[in-house]
C-alpha cells in the first residue's frame, strides 16, 4: 500500500494522487491511442462505440451518480444532440467544429429548461417524469417531420474538420481518434467538476438536501446546473452517435436506449467515471461475446446457426440483477475490492466495503 506524504494543500487538489497513478493513466491513454495498430478495423468500430456510450454514460452519471437525481429519459437528450447537430450542419451549413459544441449546448439548455419544473419531484416520481420525457421525445420527432424527417429519419453527413473527412466505414481509425480526443476532453472536464465547488455541491444535494441548504447551497439551482451539464455531455454523445449510426430515426433514441444508459452506469458502478467506461464495455462487448459463443457452439454441436430472439437484452437483464444483488457498487466497486485485497494482503477483511449504499434514496426531511 502506498502512503502519500502530503507537503502542500495542492496534494489534495491535484488530478492524480501520486506519480505512479499519473503514470498508469498516461499508459492507459497511450494504449488507447495505439489501439488501432493492435486490433482490426471492425474491433476499432466497436471501440468507438464503447467510447460514445461511455460519453453518454458520463452524462447520465453527472445526474444520477453525482447529484442523486434519477433520469429514465436521457435518450431524449441524446436525440436533441444528434438532431440539432445534423440540422445545424444542413440548414446553416455550419462546420462540425461549430455544430458539435452547439448541439451539446442545445441539449444542455433543453435539460436546464426541463429541470426547472421536474426537479421539484423526488425519487420515483422524478424517474416517472423523465420516463415521460423519453416517450414524448419519440413522438415529437415523428410530429416534427418537416424538420426531423419523421419516421424516415435523418442522414448524418461525414464529419469534416479542416478538409479531413471522418467516416465510420471509410476511415474508422481517424474517427476513433477523434472520438477518443473528445472523450479525453470530457473526462478532464468531469474530473475538474469533481474537485471543484460545483462537484461538492452536487454531492451535498445527493446526500442531504436539508444540510445542503443549511450550508448555503441553492438546491433548485444546483439541480438545474446538474441537469444542464448532464444533458450537455449526453447531447455531445448523441451527436457522435448520430454520425456513427449515419442514419437515425425516432426509433434510434427510444425508451430502451434511456434504460440502457441507466443500466450501463449501474453495472459499471454509480458515482465514478470508471463506471461509465466499464458499463459501456460490457454493453458493447456482450453481443460480440454472444455471437462468438454461438459460432463456437455451432461448430461444437455441428448444427445450423441458432438465433434466440431477445437473448442480448435477456442476458443484460440477468447481469444487471446479479449486480444489484451481489455488487451494488458495480464493476468498479469490484475492481476496488480486488485492488484493496492485493494492496493490503494479507490484511483484507471481508466486510471492509460494507456500508449502506443508497444514491437514489427518497427524502428524509424536506
Partner 1 sequence: MSLLELKNVTLRFGGLVAVNDVSFSVEEGEVFALVGPNGAGKSTILNMISRLYTPAEGDILFEGKSILGAEPHDVPVLGIARTFQNIELFEQASVLQNLLVGRHTHCCSNFLTDMLFTPFVRAQERVHREAVEHVIDFLDLQPYRQKLIAGLPYGVRKVVEMGRALAVKPKLLLLDEPASGLSVEETQDVAFWIEDIKKVMGVTVLMVEHDMHLVSSVSDRVMALADGSMLSIGTPQEVQTDPAVIEAYLGSDDGTESGEAA
Q: List C-alpha distances in Å: 150 to 143, 153, 251.
A: 7, 6, 10
Spatial distance between the Cα atoms of 114 and 96, rounded to a whole number of angstroms: 26
Stretch that binds partner 1, among 29-37, 135-143, 159-167, 201-209 (CB under 8 A): 201-209
* x-or-dash string of contact with partner 1, 227-256, rule CB under 8 A: --x---------------------------
CB of 329 to partner 1, least distance (A): 11
32 or 219, CB closer to partner 1? 219
Stretch that binds partner 1, among 40-48, 142-150, 203-211, 304-312 (CB under 8 A): 203-211
Q: What separation, in Å, do the N-terminal and C-terminal C-alpha atoms of the chain show?
A: 42
Tell me if 326 contacts partner 1 by CB under 8 A.
no
Helix (H, G, I), strand (E, B) or coil at 2: coil
The burial of 305, by beta-carbon neighbours within 10 Å (0-12 exposed, 13-18 middle, 19 or more buried), is given as exposed
Burial readout 262-274 (b: 16 or more C-beta within 10 A, e: otherwise): bbbbbbbbbbbbb
Question: Cα angle at 225 between 111 and 115, to 5 degrees?
Answer: 40
Nearest to 21 by CA among 274, 354, 278: 274
10 or 302, CB closer to partner 1? 10
CB of 258 to partner 1, least distance (A): 25
Tell me if 12 contacts partner 1 by CB under 8 A.
yes
Lookup result for grid cell 433520469? 71
Span 327-356, contacts to partner 1 by CB under 8 A: 355-356
Of all helices (H) and strands (E), which one includes residue 247? Answer: strand 247-248
The DSSP call for residue 72 is: S
Q: What is the CA radius of gyration of the chain?
A: 21
Span 171-200, contacts to partner 1 by CB under 8 A: 189, 192-193, 195-200
19 or 364, CB closer to partner 1? 364
Spatial distance between the Cα atoms of 269 and 334, rounded to a whole number of angstroms: 9
Tell me if 203 contacts partner 1 by CB under 8 A.
yes
Spatial distance between the Cα atoms of 262 and 72, rounded to a whole number of angstroms: 7
Question: Cα angle at 92 between 87 and 93, to 5 degrees?
Answer: 95
Spatial distance between the Cα atoms of 362 and 366, rounded to a whole number of angstroms: 10
Span 49-88, contacts to partner 1 by CB under 8 A: none
CB of 109 to partner 1, least distance (A): 14
Tell me if 13 contacts partner 1 by CB under 8 A.
yes
Partners of 290 in the β-ladder = none
Binding residue count for partner 1, defined by CB under 8 A = 36
* x-or-dash string of contact with partner 1, 207-226, rule CB under 8 A: xx-xxxxxxxxxx-----x-
CB of 225 to partner 1, least distance (A): 5
Tell me if 157 contacts partner 1 by CB under 8 A.
no
200 or 334, CB closer to partner 1? 200
* x-or-dash string of contact with partner 1, 270-309, rule CB under 8 A: -x--------------------------------------
Binding site residues, partner 1, CB under 8 A: 9-10, 12-13, 189, 192-193, 195-201, 203-204, 206-208, 210-219, 225, 229, 271, 355-356, 359, 365
Amino acid at each position: 500500500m502506498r502512503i502519500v506524504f502530503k507537503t502542500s494543500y495542492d496534494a489534495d487538489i491535484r488530478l492524480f494522487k501520486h506519480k505512479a497513478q499519473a503514470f498508469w493513466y498516461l499508459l492507459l491513454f497511450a494504449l488507447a491511442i495505439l489501439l488501432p495498430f493492435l486490433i482490426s478495423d471492425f474491433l476499432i468500430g466497436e471501440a468507438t462505440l464503447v467510447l460514445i456510450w461511455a460519453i453518454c454514460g458520463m452524462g447520465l452519471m453527472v445526474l444520477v451518480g453525482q447529484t442523486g437525481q434519477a433520469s429514465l429519459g436521457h435518450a431524449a437528450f441524446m436525440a436533441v444532440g444528434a438532431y440539432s447537430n445534423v440540422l445545424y450542419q444542413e440548414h446553416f451549413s455550419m462546420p462540425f467544429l461549430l455544430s458539435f459544441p452547439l448541439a451539446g449546448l442545445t441539449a444542455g439548455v433543453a435539460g436546464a429548461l426541463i429541470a426547472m419544473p421536474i426537479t421539484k419531484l423526488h425519487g420515483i416520481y422524478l424517474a416517472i417524469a423523465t420516463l415521460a420525457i423519453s416517450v414524448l421525445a419519440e413522438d415529437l420527432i415523428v410530429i416534427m417531420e418537416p424538420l426531423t424527417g419523421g419516421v424516415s429519419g435523418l442522414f448524418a453527413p461525414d464529419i469534416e474538420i479542416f478538409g479531413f473527412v471522418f467516416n465510420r466505414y471509410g476511415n474508422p481509425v481517424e474517427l476513433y481518434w477523434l472520438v477518443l480526443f473528445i472523450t479525453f476532453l470530457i473526462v478532464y472536464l468531469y474530473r475538474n467538476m469533481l474537485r471543484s465547488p460545483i462537484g461538492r455541491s452536487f454531492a451535498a444535494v445527493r446526500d442531504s438536501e436539508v444540510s445542503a441548504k443549511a450550508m448555503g447551497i441553492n438546491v433548485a439551482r444546483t439541480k438545474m446546473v446538474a441537469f444542464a451539464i448532464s444533458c450537455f455531455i449526453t447531447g455531445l454523445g448523441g451527436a457522435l452517435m448520430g454520425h456513427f449510426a449515419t442514419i437515425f430515426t425516432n426509433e434510434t433514441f427510444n425508451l430502451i436506449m434511456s434504460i440502457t444508459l441507466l443500466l450501463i452506469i449501474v453495472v459499471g458502478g454509480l458515482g465514478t467515471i470508471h463506471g461509465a467506461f466499464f458499463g459501456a464495455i460490457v454493453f458493447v462487448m456482450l453481443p460480440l461475446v454472444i455471437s462468438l459463443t454461438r459460432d463456437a457452439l455451432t461448430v461444437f454441436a455441428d448444427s445450423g446457426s441458432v438465433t434466440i430472439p431477445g437473448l442480448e437484452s435477456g442476458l443484460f437483464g440477468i447481469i444487471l440483477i446479479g449486480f444489484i444483488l451481489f455488487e451494488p457498487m458495480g464493476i468498479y466497486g469490484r475492481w476496488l475490492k480486488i485492488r484493496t485485497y492485493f494492496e493490503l494482503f494479507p490484511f483484507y477483511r471481508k466486510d471492509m466495503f460494507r456500508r449502506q449504499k443508497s444514491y437514489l434514496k427518497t427524502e428524509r426531511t424536506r
